[in-house]
Every structure is written in structure tokens, then in C-alpha cells.
Amino acid sequence: MLKTAVKDKKIRISEYATKYGTVLFLIFMFIVFSALQPSTFLSLGNLLTILRQIVILSILGTGLTVVMITGRIDLTIGYAASFLGIVAGALMVDFGVPVWLTAIITLIVGAILGSLSGVAVAFIGIPDFIATLSIGFLISGVNQAYTKGHPISGMPEEFGVFGAQFFMGIPTSIFFMIIFLIIVFVLLNYTRFGRHVYAIGGNEESTMMSGVNVKKNLIWSYVVSGIGAGLAALILSSRLGTAHPTAGDDYLMEALATVYVGGTAFKNGEFNIAGTFVGAMIIGVLTNGLTLCNVQYYNQDIAKGLVIFLAVTITSIQKTRKK
């Protein structure tokens, strides 16, 4: 009896460590960097800086999470963020469209881009990796053709509301991030669409046999990702003060990393919105803390690479155990 109780206790501890290890690691990083930089790291200004730095990553990662829950991937998000930034810049600067109408159109165009990826994957049957990568290259080429590689400047001052202004001392971009995360969290956890998305990722064949329209739900998952890219584009262009044709390209890999790092949190290898935010925080805190400690950028990349590799390994092990 005693041996059985000890064994059960060890199993429970192991389960808790696996489920909440990512969160504990985030807390551990806070403790370490607070000790190394006691006067700087935990200051309100620096904490807001961390949140501001992860806004784009969190939004892109959140949209990507919805797609990855279904067992697919969306490699357009970085290119889409760049493209949609140019769309927004061109509408305001070249065509004189008001800021808020520009924002709405940009989000709609993002949704359309997402639906194109969804149709290519769900109805045409192109592998998601190839479909989304080719669409990404296509819109990147359109970007370069329209801009000739030059940024669009001269944004209206009101456009700063998305990424360059503050409300009650807090960057407005943080509010947009929180709103988007909450909407997608509710969508996944409290709607029929969310249940279908998780069901598709769990067992697509059984979900289809139960009468769920898998193709339609796949398209909608890509639409959510496209809208996220649109919002990220608005914030990024607003923050930079210009729309650059390659501004969002480099976010793809870090967004993927954010989702995988978050996949180890809360749901044992199952991608989820709360986990994705934790993943973004880990990358943001790690980058910020190492910068404050004057660690060279190439050493920062090594540290981030190790953390991401470990997280992906743990996620893969968790998924294997589930099977």
C-alpha cells in the first residue's frame, strides 16, 4: 500500500511538472533576471516594454495556434503581415482612405488571404506546407512589385493609435493584443467552432464521420489566422511609422516557436491560447533579460534556440504519450 501511494504521488508530481513546467520556467526566469538586474527588470516601465515587445508575436502566434490545433500549419503569416501593412499604408497614403476604414479593410483582406489558404488546403487538397508557403511567396512578390522595395511613409497621425500611442500610461497595442487573445480564447473554448477545431485535431476522420463539416472549419481556422496577421500588420506599421514590404517576414519562425513552447503548458502537448501567450512571454522575457545583462545577440539566439528545442521535444513526447 505504501509503495503504491508513493508511486501514485510520484506520478501526480510528474504530471503537474509536465503540465505546468512551462509556467514554472517563466517564473524561474523572472526570479533569475530580477536577481541579476534588481533595479531594472521588475520596474513597471520594463514590464510594459516586455509586453509591448511580444504584442506582434502573441497576435500572430494566437492566429497560428487555431490552425495548428487542426493539425495544419500556416506559413503565410509573416509574409501576410508585411503585405497587409503595405495594404494599409497604400490605402491611407496613396488613396486617402480614413484610418478606421483602412483598419477594417485590412482585416477583411487578411481574412480573404486566410480563406485562400484554407480553400487550397481543404478543397483543392494541396499539402498545407506547400499551399501556405507558395501563397506567402506570391504576396511577398506582389509587395515588392508594388513598392519596388521601398517603404510607404507619411502615415496619418491618427494611425498611431494602433501601435505608437499610450492610454493611461499603457501602450495601446497591448490593449489590442489582449482583446484579440480573449476573442480567440472564447472562440476556441466556448463555441461550436472551437469544439470542432479541437475535434479535427484529435481525430479528423471520426469528426468527419460524426457529421462535422471539416473543410468549412479548416477554412475558418485559416481566416482567424489571416485576421491576426491583419491586426499585427496594423500595429507593426503604426509602431514603425512606415509600412515596409518585409516588416513582418521575420516573425514567422518566432511565432511558430511561440506556439510550440506554449504547447507544453496547461494541456500536455495540445496547442492552446493561454499556452501560446506563455510561450510569447518566455521568448520576450528571455530576450529582454539577456539584453539587460548585456549578452551579445548571437548568444541570445543560442539561448532561445535551446529553449525552443527543449519545448518542441517535450511537446512531441507529450503527444506520443497521448497516443
pLDDT in tens, 165-223: 999 999 999 999 999 999 999 999 999 999 999 999 999 999 999 999 999 999 999 99
Read out DSSP for 237-282? HHHHSSB-TTTTTTHHHHHHHHHHHHTTSSSTT---HHHHHHHHHH
Quote the pLDDT of residue 24: 83
Range name among 11-20, 103-112, 256-265 with the lowest pLDDT average? 11-20
Number of domains in the chain: 2
- pLDDT bucket at 21, cuts 50 / 70 / 90: confident
Classify residue 228: in a domain, yes or no: yes
* 186 and 130 in a common domain: yes
- Co-location of 145 and 237 in the same domain: yes
Is it the case that residue 11 has pLDDT exceeding 90?
A: no
pTM of the predicted model over 0.85? yes
Amino acid at 17: A
**Mean pLDDT of the chain, nearest integer:** 90
Q: What is the pLDDT of residues 35-60, one digit of tens each?
A: 999 999 999 999 999 999 999 999 99
Residue 128, phi-psi category: left (phi > 0), alpha (psi -120 to 50), beta (remainder): alpha
Residues 6+ apart with CB under 8 A from 165: 171, 172
Read off the pLDDT band of 297 (50, 70, 90). Answer: confident
Determine the pLDDT at residue 312.
72
Domain that holds residue 273: 251-323
The Cα 301–Cα 303 span in angstroms is 5
Specify if 34 maps to a domain.
no
pLDDT number for residue 19 = 65
Q: What is the pLDDT of residue 311?
A: 72
- Cα angle vertex 256, ends 143, 129, to 5°? 65
**52 in any annotated domain:** no
317 part of a folded domain = yes
Q: What pLDDT does residue 225 have?
A: 98
Please report whether residue 196 resides in a domain. yes
**Are 243 and 263 contained in the same domain?**
no
Residues 229, 217 share a domain: yes
Do both 66 and 163 map to the same domain? Answer: yes
The average pLDDT across 212-236 equals: 97
pLDDT in tens, 237-293: 999 999 999 999 999 989 998 998 887 666 656 789 999 999 999 999 999 999 999
Span 26-38, average pLDDT: 93
Please give the Cα distance from 255 to 57 (Å, whole number). Answer: 6
Residues 292/41, Cβ–Cβ less than 8 Å:
yes
pLDDT on residue 3: 54
Q: Are residues 109 and 236 in the same domain?
A: yes
The verdict on 143 and 277 lying in the same domain is no
| Residue 176 in domain | yes
